[in-house]
Structure 1
Amino acid sequence: RIWQLLRREGLHVNHKRVYRLYHLSGLGVKRRRRRKGLATERLPLLRPAAPNLTWSMDFVMDALSTGRRIKCLTCVDDFTKECLTVTVAFGISGVQVTRILDSIALFRGYPATIRTDQGPEFTCRALDQWAFEHGVELRLIQPGKPTQNGFIESFNGRFRDE
């Protein structure tokens, strides 16, 4: 990038020389470290044996007539297929997801397992800490495989139609 800026100013210098001098001067920009996802075991989609054992969560995106995007957090009990919540907001963070789950748990209790995709709201530290504190196991599906979270994807398809 520096080499390109020098060329734009009319200086014709070998790019290897620019690289060498740049690093000798200690001007190198540190690379940002990539955040690693949570290490979880991936298990097949099984039908739960009783209500409130497994919940599935996902986001549905939509747009208002003004063009502004909205997010809908949907949560379904996998055994009863009951919709536990549909929360609509312009943006929902991981901390807000934990608050929503706490409000559901006031009436239903905490599930044994929550199945989600690997979105940033579901892989954040806040949700991981919440799950640990309440004894809830988080199961993340493989990236690009929505069929592993079929219960919520089926619900979201009907939700979009309505």
Structure 2
Amino acid sequence: MALEIQAIKNVFGKKVLSRSTKERAVDLLVEEGLSLNRSLDVVLLPKSSYYYQPKAIDEETMNEIRRLAFRWKREGYRRIYRRLRRSGRTINHKKVYRLYCLEGLKIRTKPKRKKRNASSQQLPLPKNSNEVWSMDFVFERTIDGRKQRILTGIDHLTRENTILQAEFTFSSEKLIRYLNTLERLPRAFVLDNGTEFTSKDFQKWAEDKGIEIHFIEKGKPTQNAFIESFNGKLRDECLNLHYFKNQRELTDALRIFQKEYNDERLHSSLNYLTPSEFKRSYG
């Protein structure tokens, strides 16, 4: 008994916390002269846990997680889990998270900003596609030193990226010319108070087309949340990941991003469908 007490003191002078530490404590107690069964009792570790061997990691699944994480650099484990399920793999989201963290794939998240109260002027979610679009501008500079203005547009219901066009300048005339090339237009636009949108020419064009214009309040971009969210993704997943020698390279990258965004990017707000899939399912 004295030997047993001394053995326990020798081992428990070290902190026993995790399962792996408990397993090591059992081994130390056995080395001190206790039987295996007695050592397990002292450490409060079930024999089944002591003998349990974790299943080997499915290397094929791990490779696919790596591939998806590299392909979709700004997506977290939840979307990777959804992509694995869509490809027919039977896997638990907890396992995906464990493997995701094991590989050090966890992306850095920006600190959340304090949310402002939503404005009462914000339009309700439309019932059909092409009812309400938002438009805005994003700025980018190419290696040749030219400043680029990127016109962006998003459908409020389907989240489809309907407009993505880079120009050196975007006067109201050029804006109207570009919009006239589109195959379809919405019944209403939600816009900020930029001079291109508030110009008489643009207002007249919208009136002639029968398009309603809804302006957000100055200094309240949250009233245009859909386009603000899209612009952030465009910045994070395209513009910040590349440099562009000229407008042609930028335009090529925007075309690729637009297709991937509409046809491949999963949206939690659409029940993890792509905008194209949601649009088809919605009819």
Verify the 8 A CA contact 1:45 1:149 in the aligned structure 2: no
- How big is each residue's C-alpha offset from its partner over 1:131-154, in whole Å with a ceiling of 9 and x where there is no partner? 110110111111111100001010
C-alpha distance in 2 between matches for 1:65 and 1:123: 32
Which residue of structure 2 aligns with residue 97 of structure 1? 175
AA paired with 1:75?
Answer: G
Verify the 8 A CA contact 1:53 1:113 in the aligned structure 2: yes
Which residue of structure 2 aligns with residue 119 of structure 1? 194
Which residue of structure 2 aligns with residue 141 of structure 1? 216
AA paired with 1:101?
Answer: L
- How big is each residue's C-alpha offset from its partner over 1:47-83, in whole Å with a ceiling of 9 and x where there is no partner? 1111010010000001112332110001111111111
Q: Which has the higher contact order (CA 8 A, sep 6+)?
A: 1
Which residue of structure 1 aligns with residue 165 of structure 2? 87
1:131 is the counterpart of 2:206:
yes
Normalized per residue, which structure has more helix?
2
* Aligned positions, number: 118
Verify the 8 A CA contact 1:115 1:140 in the aligned structure 2: yes
1:56 is the counterpart of 2:131:
no
Instruction: State the Cα distance separating 1:129 from its structure 2 match.
Output: 0.4
| 1:58-73 matched pairs, under 5 angstroms | 58-73=136-151
Q: Kindly, what percent of the aligned residue pairs are identical?
A: 40
Verify the 8 A CA contact 1:60 1:73 in the aligned structure 2: yes
Verify the 8 A CA contact 1:114 1:137 in the aligned structure 2: yes
C-alpha distance in 2 between matches for 1:48 and 1:114: 12
C-alpha distance in 2 between matches for 1:100 and 1:68: 20
Verify the 8 A CA contact 1:63 1:70 in the aligned structure 2: yes
C-alpha distance in 1 between matches for 2:230 and 2:121: 21
Which residue of structure 1 aligns with residue 225 of structure 2? 150
- How big is each residue's C-alpha offset from its partner over 1:6-62, in whole Å with a ceiling of 9 and x where there is no partner? xxxxxxxxxxxxxxxxxxxxxxxxxxxxxxxxxxxx822321111010010000001
Instruction: State the Cα distance separating 1:84 from its structure 2 match.
Output: 1.1
Name the SS of the counterpart of 2:196 in structure 1.
coil
C-alpha distance in 2 between matches for 1:82 and 1:101: 16
Which has the higher Rg, Structure 1 or Structure 2? Answer: 2
Instruction: State the Cα distance separating 1:112 from its structure 2 match.
Output: 1.3
Which residue of structure 1 aligns with residue 114 of structure 2? none
- How big is each residue's C-alpha offset from its partner over 1:82-128, in whole Å with a ceiling of 9 and x where there is no partner? 11121101101111111222212xx22x3211011000111011110
AA paired with 2:158?
Answer: T
Normalized per residue, which structure has more strand?
1
Name the SS of the counterpart of 2:173 in structure 1.
helix
Verify the 8 A CA contact 1:115 1:138 in the aligned structure 2: yes
| 1:27-66 matched pairs, under 5 angstroms | 43-66=121-144
Name the SS of the counterpart of 2:181 in structure 1.
helix
Unaligned runs of 5+ in 1: 1-41
- CA RMSD of the aligned region, Å? 1.3
C-alpha distance in 2 between matches for 1:154 and 1:46: 17
